[in-house]
Structure 1
Amino acid sequence: MSSDPDHTDVRLASESDTYQPTGEAPSLPPPLPARKIVKTVPYSGSIRTATDVMKRGDRIDDFEVEAVLGRGAFGVVYLARQLSLDRQVALKVAANAGSEGRTMARLEHTNIVQVFSETIDQSGELRLLCMQLVPGAPLDAVINDLAQIRTARGHWSGADVLASVDTRSKLTDIFDPSALRDREALADMDDLEAACWIGARLSEAVDYAHRQGVLHRDIKPANVLVNRYGQPMLADFNISFQSLDENSSADERFGGTLAYMAPEHLEAFNPSTDVTAAAVDERSDIYSLGIVLGELLYGRSPLASPPRCDNRLVYLERLAACRAVAPPEVIEGAGNAVKAFSYTIARCLDPDPEKRYATGAELAEALDGVRELRKHERSSRGNGWLVRAVKKHPMRWVVIFSLFPQFLGSLFNIGYNATQICTHFTEEQHDAFHRLVIAYNVIVYPLAIAAGVAILLPLHRIWQQLVSKEPVEQSKLDWARRRSLKLPMWLLAVAAMGWLPGGFIFPWLIERMTGSSPPGLYWHFFLSFTISGLIAVAYSLCGVQYAVLRGLYPRLWPRAEKFRETANEELPNTWWRLVLMVGLAATIPTFASWTIQYLAPDRNDDFLFLLTSALDMVGYAGLALTAWASVKLSRLMDNIMGIDQRRIT
């Protein structure tokens, strides 16, 4: 991980450099007991500048120093006790310049370190910033711990984040029941979910600051504190730009850390360019946050950097040249959520500010969508060969599930025609029937195939783009998802139009071609084609519905903005199809068996007995299969919509 200590101002209460990952989130310790209030005294010590270090017991203004939390180019941060209120605070002692206190004082947000007060010491040279004490660890230290875990076992978890924070923090925190929910939720997340959750909370903090007219302009892991509840807190607004405050001086309005600067920030930082600080806006903070999130998940920066050189200006120009080129998406791991996260980071890091997320709220929404998508993927992993096959090649299985039931219907149709209809034909009628079979198949099969191709081809093209990692417009993805949900009914309609007309066309043309027809010809053909078609339609509906919901629809989310909300808009209309699926698959074969037995002229016919027995077995098997599939698909839809998060096998 890249960092620049010269720009690291605020550090956290953390002195331990040794970390032993346990994979568990330890329980929170009890809060510190209250202490007696001590009378406030003026400064007693030996520091003269902001970078001088006070020792334990030294007092300055209303504060008594207890320990050093961190130090940097701008000053020193202490663990101190505010004597008048008898509370522990983080006391930042810096040179009396800038307006960090006024900047941060206007920011009251759960994920921003709160400023309580700002005072000037008696000498007038030092500015004292009394801030919220955040027991925990700086994010850069947590990232280092997580990188070790990732190297050892290939992944980390939210519990590892909490374990790192608890191990590194020597301070206890006041028990906060409302924040405990976040700790429990984080402990149950995997690495991608945890990175998205932390990133979304930071994005909300950045968005809040931006709406208050404050730019941070030095977002990096060292300036993010993670408390004992796993909540990230943005700190160190020392070089923030107050875009709405015209009284800010130029030197306090601009700065940053090279490794986390956006391209326009680097150019503005370079005195040899004409780019000014005005080019650095909200989207520059989004860029920096994207780098931080990439480091958090992958343990390294998602951006390449040129080799270091002694000439700072030359290095600055080389770094700006590297940042001017869009970085490749980093995709490590399987699943659509991984791709969605990679897309989100890549959009944050686009060299063109116009193509980045415009606000922190947009980025937070995208990250929360990725997290929800990942949560769905984790709970819907199946181990069966069919689940794996459908999820890997959903379009292929849509075709298979569409065609295979047609062969089952054909077997019934051929058997019934041969035993119940053709045995009563004259030779002339036999000849007419065979000619009609050839003509009907020559016409209907190409038409049905053409209709199926017309329905599937546009969707298949978008699917191929996703598989080949080509960029796909969001509007096309939205269209593809909605179309995929309609596939079962559209393919059902194609199959029905191929089968059902035959029940009328065959007897009518045979009668016209031969001038006569055996008794019951119309009824038998109607029964033959209708039952065959309904069997084919029922089971193709079941199979295609399974392939769409288990494999295709969840894969059409390479971007996850508003994942749950959109799914709740698109999926509810699918419920009645599951009911129809079970009803058709269970009742049609049984109904066909009863009808044939009732209408058959020779009920003792052996083939008729085998046929009706087979239909009964198909009906029972269909009921069991579709009922099982319906329950699975119902739970799957609930899972996608966020209604039921139980694991789906």
Structure 2
Amino acid sequence: MDADDWLGECLGRLADNGCVDDPAELGSYLPAIDTDTRRILLVELIKLDMAMSAETGRLRRIDAYLSIDPSLLSPDHLPLDLVMEEMQLRKELGESPDVAEYQSRFPKLAALLLPLEQSIAAISSAAMAEVPPEIGIDEQIDDFRILQKLGQGAFAQVYLAQQISMRRLVALKVSFGKGGESESLAQFDHPNIVRVFDQRMLGDSSVHLLYMQFVPGGTLADVVKTLRSFVAAEGRAGVGGWLLLRSVDEQLLEAAQVVPDQSSTRQWIAASPWPQVVAWVGVHLCRALHEAHSQQILHRDVKPANVLLSAEGIPKLADFNVSFSDSEEHAGKVASLGGSLGYMSPEHLRAIIDKDHADQDTIREPADIYSLAVLLWELWQSRRPFQTSAMPLSWSDAAEDQLASRDCAIAVPHCDETAPHAAAERVLEKTLRRALSVEPADRFGDGAEMAGRLRLSLFPQAATLFDPPESSWRAWLSRQSPWVMACLVLLIPHAIAGGLNYQYNMNEVMQTESLKETLRWISWIVNLTYFPLATVFAILQTRSMVRAVDCSRHDQRVDSRDLGNMLELGHRAAIIGGSMWISSGILFPIIFHYLSPDFHVMASLQLFLSSLICGGIGMAYPYFGMAWLATFVFYPHCLRSTMQDTDFDTRAERMVNRSLVYTLIAAFVPLIGSVLMIVIPSSSRWFMLAAVIAGMLGLLVAWFIHHRVVKAWSQMGQVLSTKGTTMPE
């Protein structure tokens, strides 16, 4: 078990047992592990025990815990955050803690507490001056009847209230003055962003009322807490979407709200494996961030506690208190550096550490993408991707420790490679690792791009197409040269058809030695003309596919025209190749009649029909070869980074329809061969029979590829189609 696992288990046991009678009892909660981890666990246990004791009205001070284990905790080695925790709890109990008192009690922290004295005093006085008095249950303020207190922040009270005039439930935020959150949230009308209805000032006073959508299902922080408790007790094997619903239902019960029945969304969540539920949450939040960013709003504090859940479990991004807008009317406004250290991007942490020299413009949209990736990793693995080993003594130390952890390797996730959803989990991990790149330019371009990638995790079959295992044949083919692959697929069927056509004409059509000799030198002329031309065509037409594959290998967006040309390559090769064979079927009899006037009509018909058969081979099989190569290898490879193709529906319809047409063309090959064998006398029927059987096998292969291509484009449509979605909303 790592530090997070031990922490979840220890805190869970203490929370279940309640506040200890003797502080020394906390020592029994500590496992026999390394000293640094034991020190971290002890500090967190003390915080929880202090908070539980404060709830009884009798706060237990830090001094009572110093005798537990002097090697882990002593006045000379006391973390600053423990002191700040006690000060905060005392303020919540109505006391006014003095920094000088703590400097006297803990002289070793005096230097750290000194620069904080003025800021702490300012925060304390501001809180006392700015937090409005609590409103009683069933009291009315303006147009709102208070039903329940939902929470309290440093400068506001939040209530569940009924808006009398509209007869609806709202979350009512009561504060003094007017903050910037309403201006940020009021711009949005998005299903994954908490909607602000309106704001008003209360009479002539400075009381500000902000009323917004009431989201009763708790937060993702509640889900993470539920997940950690379950993993600590039962392990990861049984983790599933039902855990999210359990957390939501607990919050609904606490808020006296009804659990929805006959909800397709809840049914999907309950039946889905955990990686897919995490990806589903990520898709919704990516959409929310994309909407905010498109309106030049940055959130800058994306974390589980700021994601609310509806009764159906749908996530909604909230708390834009530290967001800012850089639209034209806000140009030049200094950006806030607020946020939560554990979820901050490297560039955000650097700005926190060096505010005087930090470039505010570096904390842009990729910083929100990074924070979201940390959130989703924690939701997936019940721990964050980065671990800090030090015990920070100050805010700046904590920020530096967090920044140092960003350069370390990401924690190896717990994955089940044998599970049915292994492909979805593999895609989820790769997506989050890219979003957690240290350099902003290496992350996703926007929320929509990341959402497209996460959607792939919801459909394991499509995930296998777009992101095959590294050891699979599809992954191996995607690493090969597209020049070589395309030329082999396009030219080999023509070479085989040419060989068959030559043997048939030599054995069945040319009855005299002079005609056979004429066929030999004409074949040389044709082969030295047609095949070089076909090779040049293959190389020229493959350029678009090469550009597309090269862009995808460098994680660059592929041009839509190159994608289209790649998918058209098989069809164009079929048209040109078929035209060459049909033209030769017409040209050869004319040449032989000119050179040998006694060349009979039946022989001309044989020449034409044999060329027609070879034309069918030259059309159907290069097309199916390229359709298979594009569908299963190169097209998914080109879209694996962005998962966006605005022309997908048109392309899919065209591929499916053409596949059916070329299947019919493939059926004509054995049909015409049978006609030749039955109608025209032959001296080598075994040769014709072998050709017909080969044609039948080719038809079966063509039908199989057609079936697989149609199925593959249908699976890709689950992720890429714009006509609708099968993802639960």
User: Partners in 2 of 1:524 and 1:251 — Cα distance?
Assistant: 83
Could you say which residue in structure 2 is the equivalent of 1:140? Answer: 221
Within 1, Cα distance between the matches of 2:548 and 2:557? 11
The residue matched to 1:225 in structure 2 has which SS? strand
Find the counterpart in structure 2 of residue 421 from structure 1: 509
Letter in 2 for 1:452: A
Please point out which of 565, 568, 571 is paired with 2:649.
568
The structural deviation recorded for 1:221 is 1.2
Deviations 1:482-512 (A, max 9, x none): 2321121233246446645654676677788
Asked whether the 8 Å contact 1:202–1:234 carries over to 2, the reply is yes
Correspondence 1:291 to 2:350: no
Aligned to 1:39: none
* Partner in structure 2 of residue 640 of structure 1: 716
Partner of residue 229 from structure 1, selected from 297, 312, 315: 312
Any conservation in 1 of the 2:215–2:308 contact (CA below 8 Å)? yes
Deviation at residue 612 of structure 1 after TM alignment: 5.1
* Residues 337, 371 of structure 1: 8 Å contact kept: no
With over 3 angstroms needed to count, the CA separation of the structure-2 counterparts of 1:453 and 1:89, relative to structure 1, is: closer
Work out whether residues 544 and 563 of structure 2, in 8 Å CA contact, stay in contact via their aligned partners in 1: no
Q: Do the aligned partners of 1:597 and 1:612 also contact (CA within 8 Å) in 2? A: no
Q: C-alpha displacement at 1:224, in angstroms?
A: 1.5
Residues 166-175 or 197-206, more deviating: 166-175
2:545 alignment partner AA: L
2:491–2:535: 8 Å Cα contact kept in structure 1? no
CA positional deviation for 1:212? 7.6
1:397-436 equivalent positions in 2, closer than 5 A: 402=490, 405-406=493-494, 409-410=497-498, 412-422=500-510, 424-426=511-513, 428-436=514-522
3-state SS in 1 of match to 2:254: coil
Match of 1:99 in 2: 179
After superposition, what is the alpha-carbon deviation per residue over 1:72-104, rounded to whole angstroms, capped at 9, x for unaligned?
7x379777677989998767788x577377557
Q: Which amino acid is the alignment partner of residue 512 of structure 2?
A: F
Quote how far apart the aligned CAs of 1:577 are: 1.8
**Structure 1 counterpart of 2:393, from 307, 310, 326:** 310
With over 3 angstroms needed to count, the CA separation of the structure-2 counterparts of 1:644 and 1:581, relative to structure 1, is farther
Structure 1's 506 and 292: CA in aligned 2 closer, same or farther, altered over 3 A? same
Deviates more, 1:577-586 or 1:631-640: 631-640
Q: Deviations over 1:140-159 (max 9, x none)?
A: 34245557769956896545
Within 1, Cα distance between the matches of 2:321 and 2:639?
A: 40
What residue in structure 1 maps to residue 349 of structure 2? 266
The answer on 1:537 being equivalent to 2:615 is no
The one-letter code matched in structure 2 to 1:637 is W
* 1:94-141, Cα deviation, whole Å (9 max, x unpaired): 8x57737755774675431758878899xx999997776533242134
In the alignment, which of 472, 477, 482 is matched to residue 393 of structure 1? 477
Letter in structure 1 aligned against 2:709: L
Deviation readout 1:393-437 (Å, 9 max, x if unpaired): 366876665466446535642552243124x113x4444544555
Query: Which residue of 1 is the match for residue 9 of structure 2?
Result: none
Partner of 1:528: 610
Q: Deviations over 1:15-74 (max 9, x none)?
A: 999xxxxxxxxxxxxxxxxxxxxxxxxxxx99689799x9999898869999886677x3
CA contact (8 A) 1:224 1:233 kept: yes
CA–CA separation in structure 2 for the residues paired with 1:485 and 1:324 = 41
**Cα deviation digits, residues 211-250 of structure 1 (max 9, x gap):** 7886543221122222331111233445445778999xx9
Question: Which residue identity is paired with 2:308?
Answer: L
**2:616/2:669 contact within 8 Å kept:** yes
Structure 1 contact 480–556 (Cα < 8 Å) conserved: no
Counterparts in 2 of 1:108 and 1:435: CA distance versus 1, 3 Å: closer
Contact 1:337 1:558 in 2 (8 A): no
1:579 aligns to 2:621 (yes or no): no
Cα drift, residue 567 of structure 1: 0.5
The Cα shift of 1:581 comes to 0.7
1:202 Cα deviation from its structure 2 partner: 3.0
- Secondary structure, counterpart of 2:507 in structure 1: helix
User: Which stretch of structure 1 is more off in the superposition, 284-293 or 616-625?
Assistant: 616-625
CA distances 1:318-355 after superposition (whole Å, capped 9, x unpaired): 65577699999999887699669846874686645x88
* Residue 407 to residue 160, structure 1, CA distance change in 2 (3 Å): farther
Q: State whether residues 531 and 588 of structure 1, in contact with CA within 8 Å, keep that contact through their aligned partners in structure 2.
A: yes
**What is the 5 A alignment of 1:14-93?**
74=154
Aligned counterpart, 1:553: 635
**Contact 1:242/1:253 (CA < 8 Å) preserved in 2?**
no
Give the gaps of 5 or more residues in structure 2.
Answer: 5-14, 18-91, 96-123, 466-471
8 Å contact from structure 1 (residues 401, 543) kept in 2? yes
**How far did 1:584 drift?**
0.9
Separation in 2, partners of 1:80, 1:262? 34
- Deviation of the 1:177 alpha carbon: 7.8
Report the Cα distance in structure 1 between the residues aligned to 2:222 and 2:186, rounded to whole angstroms.
28
Preserved CA contact (<8 Å) 2:544 2:565: no
Cα deviations by residue, 1:383-402 (Å, 9 ceiling, x for unpaired): xxxxx756763668766654
Distance 1:84 1:627, change over 3 A: closer
CA 1:307–1:102 in 2, change beyond 3 Å: closer, same or farther? same
Q: Verify: 1:452 aligned to 2:534, yes or no.
A: no
| Corresponding residue number in structure 2 for 1:481 | 563
* Other structure's SS at 1:233 match: strand
Q: Name the CA distance, whole Å, in 1 between partners of 2:365 and 2:616.
A: 60
Aligned to 2:302: 219
Q: Which has the higher contact order (CA 8 A, sep 6+)?
A: 1
> Which residue pairs with 2:44 in the alignment?
none
Residue pair 1:327, 1:349 contacting (<8 A) in 2 also: no
Report the equivalent of 2:87.
Answer: none
8 A Cα contact 1:118 1:128, kept in partner: yes
Task: Tell me the TM-score normalised to structure 2 length.
Answer: 0.61
Give the structure 2 partner of residue 40 of structure 1. none
Whether the aligned pair in 2 keeps the contact of 1:392 and 1:551 (CA below 8 Å) is no
Residue deviations 1:553-572, cap 9 Å, x none? 23321233544x33024333
Aligned residue pair count: 580
Q: 1:590 to 1:569 in 2, by over 3 A?
A: closer
Return closer, same or farther for 1:318/1:576 CA change in 2, 3 Å cut-off: same
After TM superposition, give the deviation of residue 474 of structure 1 in Å. Answer: 1.2
Aligned alpha-carbon RMSD (Å):
5.7
Higher helix share: 2
Amino acid at match of 1:542: F
What is residue 11 of structure 1 aligned with on the other side? none
SS at match of 1:219: coil
Cα distance change on mapping 1:612 and 1:434 into 2, 3 Å: closer
Percentage of matched positions with identical amino acids: 21
Q: Is the 8 A contact 2:283 2:451 kept in 1?
A: yes
SS at match of 1:556: helix
Change (3 A) 1:378 1:190: farther
Distance (whole Å) between structure 2 residues aligned to residue 212 and residue 533 of structure 1: 56
Any stretches of 5+ residues in structure 1 without a counterpart? Answer: 4-14, 18-44, 383-387
Deviations 1:365-390 (A, max 9, x none): 324423554455536869xxxxx756
Mapped to 2, the partners of 1:210 and 1:414 lie a distance apart of 65
Match of 1:366 among 449, 462, 469: 449
Distance 2:209 2:593 in 1: 104
